[in-house]
A and B are shown apart, each in its own frame.
Chain A
Amino acid sequence: MKETDMNESALLNENGHGEAEKAWAADVRRAAIKPTIGRVSVAWKLSVTVLGLVVLAGIGAWIYQLKHGLGSAGYNDQAFWAVYIVDVVTFIGVSYGGAVISAVLRLTGQSWRAPLTRLAEGTALVTVMIGALFIFPHLGRPERFWEIPIYVNTSSPLFWDFMAISTYVLATVIFFYLPLVPDMAIVNKTLGRADRPARFRIYKALSLKWMGNERQRRLLHSVLTLISLIIIPLAVSVHSVLAWAFATTSRPGWMESVFPPYFVIAALYSGTALVIVVASAFRKGYHLERFITKRHFIRLGYIMAALGLVYAYLTIADLLSEGYTGITSGWIRQTIAGRYAIPFWFYVALGEVLPIVLVAVKKTRNIKGMTVASVGVVIALWVKRIVIVLPPVTQPLIGSFWGTYHFTWVSITITIAGVAAIPLGLMLLFRFLPVLSIDEMEEMGELGSVEQVSKETLAAQKQVPAYAYANGNGHVNGNGHVNGNGVGMPEKEVQL
């Protein structure tokens, strides 16, 4: 982003805080608002163009599939479910991670969450939309989709999928919008009426005349707490219902009681990984290094590794119990040592071993290490879901001839388009809305974001920012209390 003529005075918080806090607030506002109202760079335009073309190619492939049928995507009598249901589960799963991380950290009062919440909630919003759209290529007759809510069949898992996902989309939109209200007021003031009147009016409407007084804050905080409480069980239910769409189908390998928690943990695991990937990309691309720091990555990395271990446990539990009885375990042989062995062991290497090693080894426990681990987890979990879907679906129920599924250019193009839609959606979203949760970051104070400028950073900058000194010397926040997460502690005492 290029520098623009922003209303510099509006960036400053002239509310009687100390110089350090003023400088901090101005930095936050500048970093958050610049991508929104500044001019876009050539790299941004190029990225959006390329990503947009990929998405258009995916839409074109879907139109081709509508014309030629699901067979053009590799579907056949045996492989009646394949890549698109994997995409639905994956995209809605990663959305779950973003929403739940934000909600849990909000409920538990983790002040370090502040620079991440907007990105996490934005990721949840964009990915749930894409995941919901992936239901359409999955359907053989998508024009009949409207019949699901009209001709209600409560015995059908599809009906409950529809209900759960639509409720979750509504919750995600509200959960994204409400913390945005104070920021809309800030952006509105910064933008000024003369610059872009249309945008000014939209921001003004979205800001709901926010003035930031105590009663407004109390109301917004209460409502956000309630939504956070709702969104966690809601997300659990969405993924459980998705799992039951499999588990209530009478096929070996699917009809298992472990499936709902199995899917929920996979969603959390891959969702946390995607938040790390998105945070890493936007940190670099939008110059948020000062706010999203090594500490954030390592904490998210710990959460991701813990979820990875739980997921490994559930994978073993799934394979062991059915493999031991051996009654319908042909799919297990195919998974571990048969035709699906390569993708399965790819998941083990990239989705379990690599992230745990990268988190465990101190040398790799850094931003780059966590990003590499997260990229690996996101890819590996998609592959793992392929392994969950295809072996059971292609296992013969009568006779011994296994079905086959071959990827085609149609299914690959549509899937890649879905992947490209994530950065595209986020870039467009944060072209109009602040990439950081400004108000929340100011409320949390510096410690929520500044890693309290590590020694390396200090050495690199060769000068210590005013707020770093302030923090290191037991500075108390402007709202009159010490932050709960170690604010006021000297930098060396902040342990990762």
Chain B
Amino acid sequence: MKSLSRWLIAAAATIGSVLVVSGTAVAATGQSSAVLDLSVQTVSANGVNLALSAQAGSGVTGQSVTFFVQTQEFSSHGWMALGTSVTNSAGEATLTYTPTWTGTELFGAALGSSDAVSTPSVVKSFQVLKDPPGVPQSVIEYARPLGSEGGIFVKTILSVLALVWILLLGSLVLVIRRVPRLASASVDPGQAGKD
């Protein structure tokens, strides 16, 4: 009898555990099923700082939202966590971010802390137009060699190359078009001009 009661207690404990886990899972599902809407906009007067706003819907208050940027340098999966913010009473979480280079950037957000999520559930593309002040120029050049002086150098070289092609083909066309027209004197080939 004693052993039966122990068995029943153990069985009840196991069922209870399963229920708890199930409840957590449902909660987790409930969190991730909330539809996030991500928006990116410039907030500073000099056009450098960005505000990443994730709208989780009214009623989702006090939930952590992690924001990401896609990068190749620091993360094997391409998404680097920028930081975490908590949704307010309107269900909105906001993070201010200063991008480190110009060009098209991919931003993302996901419900959950940075320890819990590693990839975004919503992604937004944004064109960063201005370099931030204080970032060493060499860093920018290293990241985007064609973004600044490198681009001018490349364009110059390509222009010189185009000029060479124009000169070469132009010379050939000039000879092909002009030499027959200049063949007016009826003289022996290869000799006339020497006399």
Contacts and interface: CB of A to CB of B under 8 A. Distances in A.
Given A16-B195, A181-B175, A220-B179, A213 B189 contact: no
Interface of B: 145-146, 154, 158, 161, 164-165, 167-169, 171-172, 174-176, 178-180, 182-195
B195 A15 contact: yes
Nearest to A15: B191
Given A178-B171, A207-B189, A214-B192, 14 more contacts: A13-B190, A154-B154, A155-B146, A178-B175, A208-B176, A209-B179, A209-B180, A211-B183, A211-B187, A213-B183, A214-B193, A215-B182, A220-B175, A230-B168
A258 interface: no
B164 A234 contact: yes
A210 interface: yes
A210 B175 contact: no
B194 A478 contact: yes
B44 to A, nearest CB: 32
Nearest to B172: A174
A359 B184 CA distance: 50
Contact of B161 (A163, A214, A478): A163
A315 interface: no
Contact of A216 (B146, B176, B182): B182
B176 A213 contact: no
A189 interface: yes
A479 B190 CA distance: 13
A16 B145 CA distance: 66
Contacts of B191: 13, 15, 212, 442
A209 B183 CA distance: 6
B185 A174 contact: no
Nearest to A29: B190
B195 A210 contact: no
27 contacts: A14-B188, A15-B188, A15-B191, A15-B192, A15-B194, A154-B158, A163-B161, A174-B172, A178-B172, A185-B189, A208-B179, A209-B179, A209-B183, A210-B179, A210-B190, A211-B182, A211-B183, A211-B187, A212-B187, A212-B193, A212-B194, A213-B183, A214-B193, A216-B182, A219-B178, A220-B175, A230-B164
A183 B178 CA distance: 17
Contacts, number: 117
Given A223-B175, A234-B164, A443-B194, A182 B183 contact: no
Contacts of A223: 171, 174-175
A223 to B, nearest CB: 5
Nearest to A226: B171
B159 to A, nearest CB: 12
A317 B185 CA distance: 59
Contacts of B165: 167, 170
B185 A227 contact: no
B168 A171 contact: yes
A332 interface: no
Contacts of B190: 13, 182-183, 185-186, 210, 212, 438-439, 442
A340 to B, nearest CB: 35
Q: For B172, B185, B191, which residue has the most chain A Cβ atoms within 10 angstroms?
A: B191
Contacts of B178: 219
A60 to B, nearest CB: 36
A217 interface: yes
Contacts of B195: 15-16, 478-479
Given A167-B161, A167-B165, A226-B171, A189 B182 contact: no
A47 B183 CA distance: 41
Contacts of A214: 192-193
Interface in A164-195: 167, 170-171, 174, 177-178, 181-183, 185-186, 188-189
Contacts of A207: 189
